[in-house]
Amino acid sequence: MTELAPQDADMFWRAQYSATDQFALYCFAAERDCAAAEILSALRARADRLPRLHLRVAPARHDLAFPRWCAAPVVDAQFRHHPGPQSWDDCRAAVAGLLTDRLDATAHTWRLHLVGPVEGVPRAAGLAWVVVLQVSHALADGRGVADLARALLGPEPVDEPPSPAGPPPGLLAVVGGAVAAPARVAAGMALGIGAWRRSAVDSAAADAAEPGSPATAATVLNRVAGDRRRIDVVVADASALRIDGATVTVSVLARLAEVLGRNLGIDDTTSAVELTVGREPGSDRQRQGRNNFHNAGIRLHPELARAQRVRAIDAQIRAARERDQTAGRRLERRAAAATPAVLRALAVRLTPTDVAPAAVVGATVVSSVHRGPADLTLAGGAVLFTAGFPALSAAHAMTIGVHAIGGVVAVSITTDPDAVDADCLVPLLAAALDG
């Protein structure tokens, strides 16, 4: 099927109005003298063998049909070297500057940046290379980006079957989309009514077991992000982060609770984050897209002792997964998928990108992905850690990424420096992660 799934089309349309590209950073030890041109040439050869990286998005005229995947050759312009030697601070500043440099997915859906060699990288005994894979959100979600990076940087070259690609949507597709629109609207309305009826029952049962996080007044972090970005990265061992055997995600959230409420003036009763939660493949009846996740409000409970807080956070995440798979929620997603392309695109265009919301379900967004075993290499050098930087938005001037490879975890903080005092916040978060 060459047509973008509805949720992937949404990501494509959103990228036209705000910076939504994903950035996956990987640090490697520089084990031998190897020129940047040699490294980029080897990565180009790997990319040539990955059909997933030979795709672009072709929109339909007036968005009357869903965009389609079309073939796009890999070109040299997709590989950029930011030369060194540089300090780690210089490297972070360079990467931060990339975060608002958006891809044009109608030409190419990804770009690779090589930074370095870099001095002073955490966990590096000497110089290091930094690879940043920039990916359109239409092409992949967080887990998909990790898979792409593994295909590029893994220990063995990967040969893939061809990816779905076809011609751009022509007049027939546009006319077909317009003709089908009334039927799709009717189907969406019928499914929506069923979802509304079922959701009332499902929500009551779910909330009785574990209430979801309600929307609360916006906090000091919920401001429209400007054009500048700052990134900070704290690297730690997963074993040192875990609290009472909890997952790394839960343990980081439990530690984050001690920083947000106490130091940013967020009330204990409303301290919460918006957590991205991945769905299992095949968990829904509708066609699976490349973006398969949902967001859930998670209360951090800073008023509880750490052990109690861990249990409370873990229970909420489990409940959010269960709530997302109720019959009512599934019907809601089927109703949304039935919406004609032109209406979905219009909804994206009408969503304000320059107005902060009055109420939010979380002070910040947290995205957490384990990127597999630490067997990636670059020019003979082993991977040291990996990080990611969830996009800022009109609702969040700070986001947090939790990314692991092997047993090493990087907690990244992305901020608008005009809205958030990272010089104050980052040392406090680093101390909480170390304590």
The answer to whether 4 touches 66, Cβ cutoff 8 Å, is yes
Of 71-80, 187-196, 320-329, give the lowest mean pLDDT range: 187-196
CA atoms within 13 A on the CB side of 187: 13
The pLDDT of residue 112 is: 98
- Cα–Cα distance measured from residue 355 to residue 145, given in angstroms and rounded to the nearest whole number: 30
The pLDDT of residue 216 is: 82
- Cα–Cα distance measured from residue 18 to residue 13, given in angstroms and rounded to the nearest whole number: 9
Q: What is the 3-state secondary structure (H, E, C) of 316-364?
A: HHHHHHHHHCCHHHHHHHHHHHCCCHHHHHHHHHHCCCCCCCCEECCCC
Backbone angles phi, psi at 398, to 5 degrees: -145, 135
pLDDT digit string, tens, across residues 107-120: 999 999 999 899 99
The pLDDT of residue 191 is: 44
The pLDDT of residue 337 is: 82
The pLDDT of residue 59 is: 95
Secondary structure (3-state) at 180: helix
pLDDT of 190 over the 70 cut: no
Pairing of strands 365-370, 272-278: parallel
pLDDT of 366 over the 60 cut: yes
**Among candidate residues 153, 27, 151, the one with its CA nearest the CA of residue 84:** 27
- Cα–Cα distance measured from residue 47 to residue 137, given in angstroms and rounded to the nearest whole number: 18
pLDDT of 161 over the 70 cut: no
Of 202-216, 274-288, 369-383, give the lowest mean pLDDT range: 202-216
- The reply to whether omega before 427 is within 30° of 0 (cis) is no
pLDDT of 25 over the 60 cut: yes
Q: What is the dihedral of CA 399, 402, 405, 406, to 10 degrees?
A: 170
The pLDDT of residue 435 is: 77
Structural fold of domain 211-434: Chloramphenicol Acetyltransferase (3.30.559)
How far from each other are the two terminal CA atoms of the chain, in whole angstroms? 50
The pLDDT of residue 192 is: 45
- What is the torsional sign of CA 182, 186, 192, 195? negative
pLDDT digit string, tens, across residues 391-425: 999 999 999 999 999 999 999 999 999 989 999 88
- The reply to whether omega before 302 is within 30° of 0 (cis) is no
- Cα–Cα distance measured from residue 14 to residue 211, given in angstroms and rounded to the nearest whole number: 31
pLDDT digit string, tens, across residues 300-320: 999 999 999 999 999 999 999
Structural domain spans, the chain: 6-171, 211-434
- Cα–Cα distance measured from residue 145 to residue 97, given in angstroms and rounded to the nearest whole number: 20
* CATH topology match: 6-171 vs 211-434: yes
Token couple for 71: 């073939």
pLDDT digit string, tens, across residues 235-290: 999 999 999 999 999 999 999 998 887 666 666 667 899 999 999 876 665 567 89
The answer to whether 404 touches 238, Cβ cutoff 8 Å, is yes
The answer to whether 163 touches 298, Cβ cutoff 8 Å, is no
Architecture of domain 6-171: 2-Layer Sandwich (3.30)
pLDDT of 47 over the 70 cut: yes
- Cα–Cα distance measured from residue 393 to residue 222, given in angstroms and rounded to the nearest whole number: 9
> What number is the average pLDDT over the span 185-205?
52
- Cα–Cα distance measured from residue 371 to residue 143, given in angstroms and rounded to the nearest whole number: 8
The answer to whether 115 touches 7, Cβ cutoff 8 Å, is no
The pLDDT of residue 269 is: 65
- What is the torsional sign of CA 300, 410, 86, 225? negative
> What number is the average pLDDT over the span 99-127?
96
Of 30-44, 183-197, 238-252, 257-271, give the lowest mean pLDDT range: 183-197
| 245 phi-psi bin (left φ>0, alpha ψ -120 to 50, beta other) | left
The pLDDT of residue 210 is: 57
- What is the torsional sign of CA 226, 298, 338, 12? positive
DSSP 201: H
Token pair 């967001």 in the structure block, residue: 295
Question: What is this structure's pTM?
Answer: 0.92
Q: What percent of the chain has pLDDT over 70?
A: 84
CA atoms within 13 A on the CB side of 337: 18
Mean pLDDT across the chain: 87
The pLDDT of residue 165 is: 72
**Among candidate residues 6, 289, 303, 358, the one with its CA nearest the CA of residue 140:** 289
